[in-house]
């Protein structure tokens, strides 16, 4: 997401005195995702969305709390294709199979892939 859009969304929650009040969970989720994906300096991020370091700390704290409590809907599952042509299907050489909800079967060829998946699913 472009930070200018996030800046405009945050500005709708700004009071006359400049405080950010009643920021919705949706905007907090977008803010958290943008923060997690930011590769530059934190100061540049604050500047790009128009908040101070203290305001950002409060907003991120709220967003992380909502995330821990399961307030954000889970992201959709994305299938990835491994480079190197790892075979998929019933006769695959992958050694780890995980039975997921809804009768879905997920196969992992390496333990590190399983660990990464479980971290993201938690």
**In the prediction, which pLDDT does 81 show?**
66
Q: According to the model, what pLDDT value does residue 61 have?
A: 92
Residue 48 burial class via C-beta count within 10 angstroms: exposed 0-12, middle 13-18, buried 19 and up: middle
Over the stretch 7-57, which tens digit does the pLDDT of each residue have? 999 889 988 888 888 988 888 988 988 888 888 888 999 999 989 899 999
pTM of the model: 0.57
pLDDT of residue 90: 47
Q: Indicate the average pLDDT of the chain.
A: 81
Q: Which residue spans within the chain are E strands per DSSP?
A: 96-100, 104-108
């Amino acid at each position: 997401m472009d930070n200018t859009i996030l800046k405009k969304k945050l500005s709708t929650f700004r009071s006359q005195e400049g405080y950010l009040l009643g920021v919705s969970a949706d905007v907090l989720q977008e803010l958290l995702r943008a923060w997690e994906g930011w590769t530059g300096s934190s100061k540049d991020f604050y500047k790009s969305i128009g908040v101070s370091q203290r305001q950002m700390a409060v907003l991120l704290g709220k967003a992380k709390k909502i995330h821990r409590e399961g307030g954000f809907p889970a992201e959709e599952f994305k299938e990835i294709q491994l480079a190197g042509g790892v075979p998929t299907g019933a006769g695959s050489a992958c050694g780890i199979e995980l039975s997921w909800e809804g009768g879905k079967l997920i196969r992992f060829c390496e333990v590190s892939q399983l660990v990464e998946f479980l971290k993201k699913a938690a």
